[in-house]
Amino acid sequence: MPQPRPDNQAHNTARPVLLPAPRTLSPRDAPSLGWGVMGPGGIAASFVEALRRHTEQRVVAVGSRDPQRARAFADRFGIPGAHGSYADVLDDDRVDIVYVASPHSAHVDHALQAIEAGRHVLVEKAFTRNAREAEQLVRAAREQGVFLMEAMWTRFLPHIDVVRQVLETGLLGEIRTVTADHGQFMTPDATHRLFAPELAGGALLDLGIYPVSFASMVLGPFASVTAVGTKAFTGVDGQASIVVSNEAGAHGVLNTSLFARTPTTASISGTHARLEIEGDFYAPATVRLISHEGELLDSHVPARREGGLCFEAAEAARCVRAGRLESDLMPLAETLRIMHVLDGIRRDLGVSYPGE
Catalytic residues, which ones?
A: 125
Give the count of beta carbons closer than 10 Å to the beta carbon of residue 91: 14
Total count of residues recorded for the chain:
356
* β-bridge pairing 120-124 and 97-100: parallel
Task: Name the DSSP letter for residue 322.
Answer: T
Cβ 205 vs Cβ 214: under 8 Å: no
Cβ 73 vs Cβ 95: under 8 Å: no
Secondary structure of 220-260 as H, E, C letters: CCCCEEEEEEEECCCCCEEEEEEEEECCCCCEEEEEEECCC
Torsion over CA: 178, 132, 41, 98 (sign): positive
Distance CA 310, CA 296 (A): 31
